[in-house]
């Protein structure tokens, strides 16, 4: 059966209802489209754990801050269909903005899901004020629309994954969150839809971001646990044209900063190459 593309919530609910009548389990992969191998691994994971795989393709306006790339964010639904089909996806839910936020004039009119301030006033949330409110709100809506048994999220967006797991616990969403490993190019660069904005020379510069975190990992494996020393090693590896936003070491269970790395500390970085903001992370394990 070929992949179905559904634009309306009502039609999607009807499809989901029929799958449920047949006793099928459902896995959801929320995306903003421009699908790459990283998304493909999420979709394949979803396909392997549930009877039905549904992905959403929706560039969510309320998670972009003023001045960010909402307008130019790549929208590639035809190409996305091919990638999704090859990963075993059954349904693509691709709603319009009006379908998701009917009649919305301004974001402040909307009922929002807001994660705790101390977990968003750090790392990505510090520079992207309100971003995670937009993410949690749209993900809650998608959970309510699809009512999946499982939802797959990539570990590249590690703060997002942490906050969504917490939201699911705090708000009792009946869904199991499946974290999926970050996928890299052979060069080491973490896959991202925003890599499309990088010129070849920018890409070479951007490579120093993964080099920095690999250098940190190697030093940690060699026995260095002081985050100041690890931070400096990361910094030395960053290309001079990379503008560092943060390089943090946080406990994977609390997301609180740590001075001394223990097993399962997350080392996360955000940096800009030209106008392109990139993130990467690694879980430090011996
Ligand atoms: O990770 C993303 O692509 C987005 O933040 C998500 C989870 C699809 C919500 O819009």
Q: Could you report the per-residue pLDDT of 73-116, keeping only the tens digit for each? A: 999 999 999 999 999 999 999 999 999 999 888 888 899 999 99
131 noted as active-site residue: no
| 60-81 mean pLDDT | 96
Note the pLDDT of residue 278.
98
Catalytic residue among 36, 39, 47, 239: 39
pLDDT tens-digit readout, 215-253: 999 999 999 999 999 999 999 999 999 999 999 999 999
Q: Is 138 in the pocket of ligand 1 (CB under 6 A)?
A: yes
Note the pLDDT of residue 93.
99
Question: What is the torsion angle, in degrees rounded to the nearest 10, for the CA atoms of residue 239, residue 242, residue 245 and residue 247?
Answer: -20
For residue 191, pLDDT over 90 is answered with yes
Lowest mean per-residue pLDDT among 68-82, 105-119, 267-281: 105-119
Domains in the chain, CATH or no CATH each: 4-180 (3.40.50.620), 193-279 (3.30.1300.10)
Q: Is 95 in the pocket of ligand 1 (CB under 6 A)?
A: no
Pairing of the two strands 4-6 and 276-284: unpaired
E strand map for the chain: 4-6, 26-31, 52-57, 91-93, 150-154, 176-180, 242-251, 265-273, 276-284
User: Closest Cα to atom 1, ligand 1: which residue?
Assistant: 31
Q: In whole angstroms, give the CA distance from residue 199 to residue 229.
A: 32
Note the pLDDT of residue 2.
85
pTM of the model: 0.97
Residues 78, 2 contacting (CB under 8 angstroms): no
pLDDT tens-digit readout, 140-173: 999 999 999 999 999 999 999 999 999 999 999 9
Name residues whose C-beta falls within 8 Å of residue 106's C-beta, 6 or more positions apart in sequence: none
Note the pLDDT of residue 285.
87
Q: Is 142 in the pocket of ligand 1 (CB under 6 A)?
A: no
Q: In whole angstroms, give the CA distance from residue 22 to residue 91.
A: 16
- Out of 33, 56, 84, 135, mutate this one to test ligand 1's pocket (max ligand atoms within 8 Å of CB): namely 135
Give the ranges where 185-279 is alpha helix by DSSP (H): 200-221, 227-237
- Core vs surface per residue 52-70: b (16+ CB within 10 A) or e: bbbbbbbbbbbbbeeeeee
Note the pLDDT of residue 106.
83
For residue 286, pLDDT over 80 is answered with no
- Joined tokens for residue 231: 């931070």
CA-wise closest residue to 137 among 119, 113, 107, 166: 113
pLDDT tens-digit readout, 171-181: 999 999 999 99
Q: Quote the mean pLDDT of the chain.
A: 97
- Out of 56, 60, 76, 194, mutate this one to test ligand 1's pocket (max ligand atoms within 8 Å of CB): namely 60
User: Closest Cα to atom 9, ligand 1: which residue?
Assistant: 135
Ligand 1 atom nearest residue 63's Cα: 10
Q: Which residue bears the tokens 């039609």?
A: 11
Question: What's the length of the chain?
Answer: 286
State the distance from the centre of ligand 1 to the C-alpha of 30, rounded, in angstroms.
Answer: 6
């Amino acid at each position: 059966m070929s992949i179905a593309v559904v634009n309306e919530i009502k039609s999607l609910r009807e499809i989901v209802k029929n799958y449920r009548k047949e006793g099928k389990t459902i896995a959801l992969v929320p995306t903003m489209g421009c699908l790459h191998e990283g998304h493909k691994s999420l979709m394949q994971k979803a396909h392997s754990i549930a009877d039905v795989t549904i992905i959403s393709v929706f560039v969510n306006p309320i998670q972009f801050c003023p001045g960010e790339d909402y307008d130019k964010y790549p929208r590639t639904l035809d190409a996305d269909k091919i990638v999704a089909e090859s990963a075993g996806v059954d349904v693509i839910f691709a709603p319009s903005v009006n379908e998701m936020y009917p009649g919305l004039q301004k974001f402040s009119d909307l009922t929002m899901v807001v994660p705790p301030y101390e977990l968003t006033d750090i790392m990505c949330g510090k520079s992207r004020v309100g971003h995670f409110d937009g993410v949690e709100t749209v993900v809650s809506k998608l959970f309510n629309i699809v009512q999946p048994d499982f939802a797959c999220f990539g570990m590249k967006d590690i703060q997002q994954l942490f906050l969504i797991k917490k939201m699911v616990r705090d708000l009792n969403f009946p869904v199991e969150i499946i974290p999926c490993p970050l996928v890299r190019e052979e060069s080491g660069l973490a896959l991202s839809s925003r890599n499309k904005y990088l010129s070849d020379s920018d890409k070479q510069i951007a490579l120093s971001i993964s080099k920095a975190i690999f250098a940190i990992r190697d030093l940690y494996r060699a026995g260095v646990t002081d985050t100041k020393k690890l931070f400096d090693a990361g910094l030395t590896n960053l290309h001079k044209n990379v503008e560092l936003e943060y390089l943090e070491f946080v406990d994977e269970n609390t997301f609180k900063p740590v001075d001394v790395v223990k097993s399962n500390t997350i080392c996360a970085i955000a940096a800009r190459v030209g106008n392109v903001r990139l993130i990467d992370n690694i879980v430090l394990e011996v």
